[in-house]
Chains A and B, each alone.
Chain A
């Protein structure tokens, strides 16, 4: 079945550090890929997405590139801020499961001033 594997957390960084959160997937067919973010005390919200191979999603300084050859969608940001502290979820959507997202386990990020 479809699955998403994220790097284990928690991740703690200093402000202005470079961030990478790894995400790999297993899916039948050609999935669309997403990153959702959950700020403290809030629900999840869409951060970025990519719908086909080599697409790059970007938002709020975050980027992720859909790599079909490595089945990956790693999240990156060049300079994190304290306000980026949140839980980040990688997710996929395939034709087979076209009506529901499959989520990874989430990665807690804490950014220290």
Chain B
């Protein structure tokens, strides 16, 4: 089974802090994604990556950056956390670049910014 592991299930940070959310997948998938999930808004794509060292902006990239130094790891970075970034963050991976494959999700990281 594919496993997507997010390093922290719950985080509490203060405004202005730098925050790292880590995601690792164990199935050699090429594509990786970061979404945020908010009530009534569904999932919104922040950033995605088709391959190592590649990244592309999603629908809401402002205030975020990403890093993909290794194929299995995709990190989401909040350079200076703000209260409006309090949310559930979901990482996902997909095997193929063609874009039709199933997405596999991690369990989520719930971030609270005070």
Interface pair B41/A105, CB less than 8 Å apart: yes
CA distance A98 to B4 in the complex (A): 22
Given A99-B31, A99-B99, A100-B33, A43 and B107 contact (CB-CB distance below 8 Å): yes
Interface pair B90/A99, CB less than 8 Å apart: no
Look across to chain B and name the residue whose beta carbon is closest to the beta carbon of A46. B102
Contact of A93 among B90, B92, B99 (CB under 8 A): B99
Q: Mark B20-37, 1 if CB is under 8 A from A, else 0.
A: 000000000001010000
Given A89-B42, A99-B48, A105-B42, A43 and B108 contact (CB-CB distance below 8 Å): yes
Q: Which residues of B contact A93 (CB under 8 A)?
A: 99-100
Q: Which residues of A contact B33 (CB under 8 A)?
A: 100
Look across to chain A and name the residue whose beta carbon is closest to the beta carbon of B58. A100
Chain B contact-residue range equals: 20 to 34
Q: Which residues of B contact A103 (CB under 8 A)?
A: 42-44
CA distance A48 to B31 in the complex (A): 21
CA distance A46 to B93 in the complex (A): 13
Interface pair A43/B42, CB less than 8 Å apart: no
Chain A contact-residue range equals: 20 to 34
CA distance A66 to B49 in the complex (A): 29
Q: Which residues of B contact A41 (CB under 8 A)?
A: 107
Interface residues of B in 77-114 (CB under 8 A from A): 90, 92, 97-100, 102-108
CA distance A89 to B45 in the complex (A): 14
Q: Which residues of B contact A44 (CB under 8 A)?
A: 43, 90, 92, 103, 105
Known: A36-B103, A100-B58. 15 other contacts (CB 8 A): A4-B42, A43-B90, A43-B107, A43-B108, A45-B105, A46-B102, A89-B43, A93-B99, A98-B98, A99-B48, A100-B45, A103-B43, A104-B42, A105-B41, A106-B43
Pairs of residues from A and B, 3 with the lowest C-beta to C-beta distance, nearest first:
A43-B105, A98-B99, A105-B42
Q: Could you write out 20 A-B pairs with CB less than 8 Å apart?
A: A43-B105, A43-B108, A44-B43, A45-B104, A46-B102, A46-B103, A49-B102, A51-B100, A93-B99, A93-B100, A98-B98, A98-B100, A99-B31, A101-B43, A101-B103, A103-B43, A104-B42, A105-B40, A106-B42, A106-B43
